[in-house]
Amino acid sequence: MALYLGIDLSTQGVKAELIDPENPAAGSGGFAVGFGADLPQYGAPEGFVPDPDPLVRAADPAMWLDAFDLLFARMRDAGAPLGEVAGISGSAQQHATVCLRECFPRVLGNLDPGKTLAEQLVPCLSRRFSPIWMDRSTARECRELEARFGDRLRRETGSPAVERFAGPQIRKFAKEAPEAYRDTAAIHLASSFFCSVLCGAPSPVDYGDGAGMNLLNLRTLVWDGEIAAFTALGLPGRLPRAVPSATIAGGLSGYFEKYGFRAGTPVAVWSGDNPGSLIGVGAGEPGIAVVSLGTSDTFFAAMRSFHTDPDGYGHVFGDPAGGFMSLICFSNGSLAREAVRKECGLSYEAFDRVTPVPESEHLLLPYFVPESTPLVLEPGAEYGFDWASAPAEERVRALLESQILSMRLHSAWQNEAFRRIRVTGGASKSAALRRIIADVFQSEVETIAVSNSAGLGAALRAANAIGGIPFDMLYGRFCAPVSVTRPDPARKARYDRMLEAYRQLEAGRSGTAAARLR
């Protein structure tokens, strides 16, 4: 029996998926560590260090390392057959950087199983905390990059300068902490850092996650020397190699034998959580879009050809199955839905019973927190109707429809008429929301049994890269749809009309009609 392990380092915890490609029902998931519940000593109940500045969001790599030790200990103690694992890979929250001193490779190669990972590796950090994808404190650095490179940044790295991306974060670090930056020998993404930890030697960065840095030239698939050198002095020499997602990074470190693993087990290079989820929901080939309804909402899909969003809100990353994928992030996902649910005093069940098509066509700009698409740094919802006096069900309906109309508006640059959309994430359980997605996009909406798509995607990538199992075979065994919501053609004209009204409402808000800062 050959098992494959996928690990998912998310914002709020770390999870594992163990699969058997020959017997999908025999696999096991459910292994997880929550940062808030299981590691309360770090004071990060939502996965990041509290900061009075709402634009600053950073996590402690020591917390991540302790979570890994705890996860593997739980798997061992539960009797998981870790000695039968034939390959490992992982997905990690994108854009988070880990800055390391020169001692990192030496310590990695001599890990003591009698000590924790954090005890041994934290002294190698040249920057104590890692900015994560939620950090938006780099607007100045983004302006500097855009002023220097203009539209070339978007056309060649797949995105304009983005506040939460690693490149602007590194530039800010080098400017504000020059001594710590000079003490930095290597800068990894969270994905390549943990792949390095597993292998006991520095790991490359895959194209999927590396594209989220504003540093990887997607036309040449190597770090753009000019952009990297401008971002921070000497940065090109501090970056790991960028490689295809099927690359084998190395063999598992002997440190992990104490948990029941076999030393030397092949480890495929890790990727970002969004590229991992593309694989985990079985959408690595063009034609299927994925809507992930979580803390933030994302809309992503495999691309038929490389091109970028002229407005600068959509992003292009590497597709782990080959080629490229698009991604659009809407920060006001479940955060906005939860705010409205509480404001209306509704239970989760009542929230989901909202009729999706009323007589009214109410709209709002749902910016309850800073928004990514379009860029809105100062939150504040804006209403196209009398919000305060509207019944609860109309407010909920207006929020849900406005969120999905925004997705349709800002995904049009992909030039793809998606016939199928797969939904994942906690809010995908909402029948009302699935109905709205189907009718707004006039596409079939499929749910799948997968709950941890990034972790499953990592396991499928390991089975493909290490076990040589084709992705289409893996998709058929692990990613088959379990329900389908078909669009109602009679609602097409209504939503086409509402889409134009939403476009005008958004364009009328000061600062959102223009593209990103250039």
Full 3-state SS string of 139-178:
HHHHHHHHHHHCCHHHHHHCCCCCCCCHHHHHHHHHHHCH
Q: Show Cβ contacts of residue 389 under 8 Å, excluding neighbours closer than 6 positions.
A: none
Amino acid at 403: Q
366: tokens are 């749902």
DSSP state of 26: G
Which token pair is 450?
């997968």
Residue 292: name the closest of 8, 78, 100 by CA: 8
**Max CA separation in the chain (angstroms):** 68
Name the nearest CA neighbour of 93 among 34, 32, 9.
Answer: 9
213 burial (CB, 10 Å; 0-12 / 13-18 / 19+) is buried
Task: Compute the Cα dihedral for 240, 97, 331, 513 and give only its sign.
Answer: negative
Beta strand pairing call for 297-302 and 324-330: antiparallel
Give the bridge partners for 59, in sequence order. Answer: 130
E strand or H helix at 326, and its extent? Answer: strand 324-330
Distance CA 162, CA 138 (A): 8
What's the token pair of residue 131? Answer: 């900015």
Q: CA 183 to CA 134: how far, in whole Å?
A: 26
Query: How many H helices and E strands in the chain?
Result: 19, 24
- 36 burial level (CB within 10 Å; 0-12, 13-18, 19+): middle
CA distances for 419 relative to 38, 75, 325, 328, 432, angstroms: 42, 40, 17, 18, 20
Residue 134 CA to residue 492 CA, distance in Å, equals 35
Q: What is the pLDDT of residue 510?
A: 45
Instruction: Give the C-alpha separation, 383 to 190, whole Å.
Output: 39
Torsion region of 517: left, alpha or beta (phi above 0 gives left; psi -120 to 50 gives alpha): beta
CA 119 to chain centre: 28
In sequence order, what are the beta bridge partners of 330?
297
**For residue 374, is the peptide bond before it cis, meaning its omega torsion is within 30 degrees of 0?**
yes
**Which H helix or E strand runs over 290?**
strand 288-293
- Pair 65, 9: CB distance under 8 Å: no
Helix axes of 334-344 and 392-411: crossing angle, nearest 10 degrees: 170
Q: Which amino acid is at 66?
A: D
Angstrom distances, CA of residue 25 to CA of 29, 83, 445: 11, 19, 24
Phi, psi of 459 (to 5 degrees): -65, -40
Task: Give the pLDDT confidence score for residue 375 in this predicted structure.
Answer: 85
Query: Are 92 and 191 in contact, with CB atoms under 8 Å apart?
Result: yes
The three-class DSSP label of residue 209 is: helix
- d(C-alpha 192, C-alpha 465), whole Å: 17
pLDDT score of 451: 78
Rounded CA separation 235/240 (Å): 10
CA end-to-end span of the chain, whole Å?
A: 54
- CB of 133 closer than 8 Å to CB of 95: yes
Residues in the chain: 518
CB 366 within 8 A of CB 398: no
Two structure tokens written together for 496: 């086409």
Per-run averaged pLDDT (10 residues), the chain, 518 residues:
94 95 82 97 95 94 98 97 97 97 98 98 97 94 97 96 95 98 98 98 98 97 98 98 98 98 98 95 94 90 94 95 95 92 91 73 92 87 93 93 97 92 89 94 93 92 98 95 95 96 88 35
Looking at residue 516, its pLDDT comes to 34
What are the tokens at 96?
A: 């988070």
pLDDT at 359: 72
Q: How far apart are CA 109 and CA 104, in angstroms?
A: 9
- Alpha-carbon distance 18 to 265, whole Å? 14
